[in-house]
Structures are given as structure tokens and as C-alpha cells.
Structure 1
């Protein structure tokens, strides 16, 4: 009998150099899923990524703290309990310029891939 569900007890911890915790529960690194990735993240205070123009939609739900998004000319700050969807092929920068860590969930459709994120130098 084939199970019709998967319980994830050991997410893949993505190695980072910037102090950010990335635990991918489902996605390319964890179970070779290319349609979706779901990750639990913790961004330390004063963290930021370079601008990027991903080839995937990204949904973010803030659990604790605040997270800043620069989308085009807009600066959006989300707090716990708020969420955002950023369409694919939109230039964005993610950051936590605040003094406390930010915990959040990120869902990418299709799944996150370093080949699809297009980070700037």
C-alpha cells in the first residue's frame, strides 16, 4: 500500500555564510520536488540579500519580528501575522534591517533553485 502523505521530520538545512537559518521541508534539496518549495527561515538582525529577479512566485508569512522587501520603488515592511506574494520575474531585495531576528515561512512556486533566483553581484 502506498502512503498518500509525507511527514517531514528532518528538513534539509541549507548551508549559509550570512547567519540565516534555512530549513527546507519540501523542495529540490530535500526531496527533489521541483513544483514547490516550503522553507522555515530565521533571518538574524541586520541581515540582507542582494537584489534578485527570481523565476518563481514567492509567498512569505511572518511568524516573529519584521522583514523588509524592496520591490521596484516600494519599500514594504511586514510584521508577525502578515504575508505577501511576490510575482516571478519581479526584482526584489529581502532584508531584516531591524534589531531582532525575523522568523518566517517561504513558499516558492515552482521550487526555489539557485539557477532560477538570479541574484545580483
Structure 2
């Protein structure tokens, strides 16, 4: 009889050049799952990404610190214990313009991929 569960003990650490830590626990890079991705992230103070319009819904849960979202030109700031769902196709920018690290969990459905994120040129 095969097990009906899998424990992730070695998430895929995504190489970055901006100081952000990305550990994908489930998704394309770890188990080839195209339907969902779950990642643990730490964004350093002053971090930001270009605007993007992803082909996936993204759920974010803040563990500690604060994270800024610009969603369709509206600025939203989430703090520890808060979460958000951003619908696919929304134009969004993620950043941490604050003085402390922001630790959070991101869940993308379908799974995150560079081909689905559609980042704008800076």
C-alpha cells in the first residue's frame, strides 16, 4: 500500500539577485505540480519587483513584517496575521519599502511559472 501523503523536507531554493529568499515547497520546481505552488519567502527591506499581470490567482499570508501591494493603482499594505487573494490578470507590484524584513507564504493557483507571471520591463 502506498502512502497517501508526502512531506517536503528540501524545498527548491530559487536563485535570486535581489536579496529575496524564495523556498518553493510545492509546485513546478519541486514536484512538477502545475496546478498549485506554495512558497515561503523573506523579502528584505527596500525590495521590490516590476509590475506584473499573472495568469494565476495569488494568495499571500504575512507571517511577520509588512508588505506593500499596488493593485490596479491602489496601494494596499498588509501586516502580520493578514492575508489577501489577488485575482489572475490584475496588474500588480509587490514590494517591501519598510525598514524590516517581511516573511510570508505565497500560494499560486495554477502554479507560479515565469511564463505565467508576465513581468513588465523596468
Q: With structure 2 as the length reference, what TM-score do the two structures score? A: 0.98
Post-superposition, which runs of at least 4 consecutive aligned residues in structure 1 deviate over 4 A?
A: none
**Cα offsets for 1:51-83 (capped at 9, x unmatched):** 000000000000000000000121000000000
Q: How far 1:90 sits from its partner (Å)? A: 0.5
1:114 counterpart residue number = 114
Q: How does 1:1-121 map to 2 (within 5 A)?
A: 1-121=1-121
Which consecutive unaligned segments of at least 5 residues does structure 1 have? Answer: none
Structure 2: tracts of 5 or more residues without a match: none
SS in 2 for 1:45: coil
What is the total number of aligned residue pairs between the two structures?
121
RMSD between aligned residues: 0.4
